[in-house]
Amino acid sequence: MSGALFLGWRYLAHHRFKSGILIASIALMLFLPAATRLLVEDSATALTARASQTPLVLGARGSELELVLNTLYFHVESPAEIENRAFTEVQATGFAEFIPIHSRFRAQGVPIVGTSPDYFGFRGLTIASGRQIGLLGECVIGAKAAARLGLGPGDSIISSPETVFDIAGVYPLKMTIAGVLDVTGTADDNAIFVDIRTSWIIQGLGHGHTDLAAPEAGAAVLSRRNGVVTANASLAQYAEVTRDNIGDFHFHGSTDSFPLTSVIVVPPDQKNAALLRGRYQDNDLLQLVVPERVLDDLLQTVFAVQNYVVLGLAILGFATTAVITLVFLLSQQLRKGEFHTLLRIGASRGYVSLLIASEIGFVLLLSVLLASGLTLVTRIYAMQILQTFLTL
């Protein structure tokens, strides 16, 4: 029997190319459905992990999915905004920890997320190089965004205007990168974080300019009357916050009316969570959502699609099996002479059958091993694969 196994193995080894194609085809047939399931499950896990780490999100009433996606993944363009007042009022209740989020602007395609220092502790973000945000106008950048843009501590990045002809207020702000964050494998790797007030400066709600009370203001002053100085349109505003001009930066109006895109709410217990949810149940302007539930609905759809994909792969698998069988049978036909030689030398028909079976066995074994290996590698690197292509 070992002779038949030996001959079977040598045949496959000699016809490496043909054997390789067979093994690869079968392995792929086995691997693809497994990998599909694995990646879908892992992406679902990653999605739900980030969602389950975010107990509640407060935002403008409307699409729950958009609210959650923008808060968790900074994905949505032109997100609905709420007033900062909503944040300060709910913060005063003391029912939970509240973290403001303003995610509307981008710099070289990377979302700029205005928030408070609490966000970093909440998400477990640590500094890989450089330091945390110090002054307004500084930012920290996620690891992947930094690598992609070739930026590091000390470099600058300019926020992008929302539209080319946006003269009204959203103007480019040059931000100094204070630090680069450690890799987290989440959407935070592809974001730029600023103090919430810096985000408001980008939006034009705060700015810096020459002190109008000073004589140097000169031509920028339209009038000085009754202790009120009125500036004209020639007043140049600083496009960058520096140590020299930071004292000149200020906000107009009350910050209560300034915008946020959402507030992350972290209640200490279910009781406080319930109190908060009751508070916004009938609110016309605001909604408090549970990200995990919102994404669960989305994932049901994803799983349904996955099933169709796997079904398609299974059908493809049957077709592939049929083709492989045909190829195999043709191959046996071509080897009739070889089998005849073996019979003539003294091999039994059973020996020849064993020889063929051993070849099939080896191919299947190697295919299963290859498929298992690929599945294992996919298992190990699933998150990195997903992060490369999906940005979770």
Partner 1 sequence: MILPRTLILSVIVLLAACGAEDQPASGEAPPGTESQKALVVTSNYPLFFFASQLSEGIDAAPEIIFPDIDGDPAFWIPSAEQIQLLQSADAVILNGAGAESWLNLISIDQRRLVDTSVSIKDRLIPLEDSVQHQHGPEGEHSHQGTAFTTWLDPQLAVAQARSVTDALIELAPSGETDFRNNLVKLEQTLAQLDTQLAAVFVKLEGQPVLFSHPVYQYLQRRYEIDGESVHWEPEQEPTTSAWISLQKITAAHPARMMIWEDKPLPSTAERLNNGGIVSTQFHTAANTPAQGDYLSVMRGNAERLEALLSLAETTGER
Partner 2 sequence: MINISELAFSYQGRDAELASSFGMRVRSLTVPVGATTALVGPSGSGKTTLLGLIAGTLRAASGSIIVNDEAITEFSDKDLGQYRLRSVGQVFQSFELLDYLTVIENVMLPWYISGDGMQEDIRERAAELLRNVDLTTKQTAMPGELSQGEQQRVAVCRAMLNNPPVLLADEPTGNLDQENKQNVVDLLVEQAQQNDSTLLMVTHDESLLSKFDAVLDMRGVAQPLKAPSQE
Interacting residue ranges for partner 1, rule: CB under 8 A: 116-118, 131-136, 138, 178, 195, 197, 209, 212-213, 227-232, 235, 243, 246-247, 249-250, 252-253
CB 229 to partner 1: min, Å: 4
Query: Which of partner 2, partner 1, none has residue 3 at its interface (CB below 5 to 8 Å by kind)?
Result: partner 2
> According to the binding rule CB under 8 A, does residue 10 interact with partner 2?
yes
Give CA angle at 231 (229, 164), nearest 5°. 150
Between 52 and 341, name the residue whose CB sits nearer to partner 2.
341
Q: Whole-angstrom Cα distance, residue 241 to residue 252?
A: 17
CB 14 to partner 2: min, Å: 3
The contacts found for 14-21 with CB under 8 angstroms, 24 or more apart, are 18/331, 19/363
Is residue 199 a contact partner of residue 191, using CB atoms and an 8 Å limit? no
Q: Whole-angstrom Cα distance, residue 6 to residue 2?
A: 6
CB 282 to partner 1: min, Å: 30
| Region of 5-13, 48-56, 123-131, 323-331 interacting with partner 2 (CB under 8 A) | 5-13
Fill in the amino acid letter for 292: E
Between 252 and 344, name the residue whose CB sits nearer to partner 2.
344
Is residue 39 a contact partner of residue 385, using CB atoms and an 8 Å limit? yes
Q: Which of 294, 305, 389 is nearest to 70 (CA)?
A: 294
| Region of 13-21, 93-101, 127-135, 248-256 interacting with partner 2 (CB under 8 A) | 13-21
Given 80, 338, 374, 378, the residue binding partner 2 (CB under 8 A): 338
> According to the binding rule CB under 8 A, does residue 354 interact with partner 2?
no
Between 243 and 344, name the residue whose CB sits nearer to partner 2.
344
Residue 177: φ, ψ to 5°: -85, 115
Is residue 71 a contact partner of residue 291, using CB atoms and an 8 Å limit? yes
Residue 84: φ, ψ to 5°: -60, -25
CB 335 to partner 1: min, Å: 45
CB 13 to partner 2: min, Å: 7
CB 319 to partner 1: min, Å: 45
Query: Which of partner 2, partner 1, none has residue 249 at its interface (CB below 5 to 8 Å by kind)?
Result: partner 1
Between 239 and 343, name the residue whose CB sits nearer to partner 2.
343
CB atoms within 10 A of CB 100: 24
Given 227, 247, 253, 346, the residue binding partner 2 (CB under 8 A): 346
Q: Whole-angstrom Cα distance, residue 317 to residue 340?
A: 33
Q: Whole-angstrom Cα distance, residue 386 to residue 35?
A: 12
> According to the binding rule CB under 8 A, does residue 344 interact with partner 2?
yes
CB 1 to partner 2: min, Å: 8
Q: Whole-angstrom Cα distance, residue 56 to residue 287?
A: 10
Is residue 49 a contact partner of residue 244, using CB atoms and an 8 Å limit? no
> According to the binding rule CB under 8 A, does residue 243 interact with partner 2?
no
Query: Which of partner 1, partner 2, none has residue 348 at its interface (CB below 5 to 8 Å by kind)?
Result: partner 2
Task: Fill in the DSSP letter of residue 256.
Answer: G
CB 212 to partner 1: min, Å: 4
Give CA angle at 347 (342, 349), nearest 5°. 100
Residues near partner 2 (CB under 8 A)? 1-4, 6-7, 10-11, 13-15, 337-338, 341-349, 351
